Amino acid sequence: AQSVTQLGSHVSVSEGALVLLRCNYSSSVPPYLFWYVQYPNQGLQLLLKYTSAATLVKGINGFEAEFKKSETSFHLTKPSAHMSDAAEYFCAVYNAGNMLTFGGGTRLMVKP
Amino acid sequence: KAGVTQTPRYLIKTRGQQVTLSCSPISGHRSVSWYQQTPGQGLQFLFEYFSETQRNKGNFPGRFSGRQFSNSRSEMNVSTLELGDSALYLCASTITLAGGETQYFGPGTRLLVL
């Protein structure tokens, strides 16, 4: 099965600074990749997905991610962090049988 | 459209009891997947149902079971609860579009086993 690894379980940025959350995938075939966000005491909300149509994927809330095959990466970025972005972010890869395999998650903290 | 709904939102049980959780997918979605989220193990796939049939199963003991009804609503059951079953249980419904499958998650059921 394909897998993903998220580097950094905690990331702290100042409000207005660039957000960069890292995700690397392990796949021998073009993967379907996703980023989800989880706010406290809530489920997972889909931010964006990569389906090979375009390497730069734009999502909700100003987030985007770039698929780089040469680096097997799918990092999530946002130019300017907002306090409301504080949450846990999960990278995931689709596996057969409607199974998502998730990374360990990255908790984003935004300092005022 | 209404999103994925899960009931109940919170549950407290004691060891040895059994529990049933319910999930209603987005209208028109026929696939329902279940996940367990714990601080130690993260998000792990339990099983997936499509048209009342279990198509895929994760690496969980037989105490974890599920079913799906003709209206696509799904239930999962955990028998003989253990302390380690305390977790957030998430349900997702899947839609298949031109770009592939996409899963949309419910708010989860938080289970505490005492």
> Residue A12 is inside which H or E element, if any?
strand A10-14
Chain B touched by A44 (CB under 8 Å): yes
Partners of residue A43 in chain B, C-beta under 8 Å: 4, 6, 90, 105-108
Cα angle B80, B81, B83 (rounded to 5 degrees) comes to 145
Partners of residue A97 in chain B, C-beta under 8 Å: 48, 55-56
For residue range B19-39, list pLDDT tens digits in order. 999 999 999 888 999 999 999
Is there a contact between A53 and B58 if contact means CB atoms under 8 Å apart?
no
For residue range A42-65, list pLDDT tens digits in order. 999 999 999 877 889 999 999 999
What is the mean predicted confidence (pLDDT) over A16-40? 92
Q: What is the model's pLDDT at position A28?
A: 72
pLDDT mean values, one per 10 residues, chain B (114 residues): 91 98 93 96 96 94 97 97 97 83 94 98
Tokens of A2: 């394909």
Judged against a pLDDT cut of 80, whether residue A91 lies above it is answered with yes
